[in-house]
Amino acid sequence: MSYQTPMLPANTFQNQVIVVTGGGSGLGKAMTKYLLQLGATVVITSRNLERLTTTANELSAETGSICFPVACDVRHYEQVEAVLQTAIEKFGKVDGLINNAAGNFIAPTERLSANAFDTIIDIVLKGTKNCTLAFGKHWIANKQTKATVVNIVTTYAWTGSAYVVPSATAKAGVLAMTRSLAVEWAKYGIRTNAIAPGPFPTKGAWDRLLPGDLAEKFDMAKKVPLQRVGDHQELANLTAYLLSDFSAYINGECITIDGGEWLKGAGQFNLLDQIPEEMWDMLEQMIKAKKNS
């Protein structure tokens, strides 16, 4: 067994319906695939219906479970409501929601237009709000006794980060909403948690954020104490766990899965890991000499 091995028992999500925003590619596709393998019916959304349909057909054929594509721009509440109604009409219910749709720019903030800033806020924060509110209202109004929301955030939701200020701002809001609703909606049987992934490279997103040879120059694995980036199955395992009854007593948590990356960046003296052994020997001798003088 390794971290690349599926974790949960087969049929964990038998007869359950999960909606995944941004499910057509990247990490959304990886999470969707694993839920399908565990027996779920998964409704995937994004703005690109052609790519969604290709993904849905591929994953349905590969897993034998139903993957159903619905085009949706999460920035518009009426489109989110339409996704919910389609899922209900097709499958009778929705048991879980993964808010994964996101956008980002890597740029000095002063170079961003107000519209560019708003675009990220609208997709990440407003989009997550739209989905959570629409689905939550449905679950509460229909007295559904159990439902689960998993929000995909990032570690700079609490540390902040230069050069991705719109994303950091939006993700911080999503994290606050996650914790707030975990308390407010628990009485309705709705659990709300978040995941903060570290580097999990995906072809499309990383090519946009770090074009050309920038990905090689900024090797994310070098920032991680474990000296590697994440495997998509690791994130899929964690997401499925938080959606499942195995995590029934976990509510309002944000689980970090980053190999220790943000902690390495937070420690004041963590850059000392770049000092070679020979220099440590020299420093030790200097300290001893000073003590004996």
What is the DSSP secondary-structure string of 136-197?
Answer: HHHHHHTT-S-EEEEEE--THHHH--TT-HHHHHHHHHHHHHHHHHHHHSGGGTEEEEEEEE
> Catalytic residue numbers?
156
* Cα gap 9→88, rounded to integer Å: 26
Tally DSSP H helices, then E strands, for the chain.
12, 7
Contacts 24+ apart (CB under 8 A), 3-6: 3/231, 3/233, 3/234, 4/231, 4/233, 4/234, 5/233, 6/34, 6/37, 6/38, 6/233, 6/236, 6/237
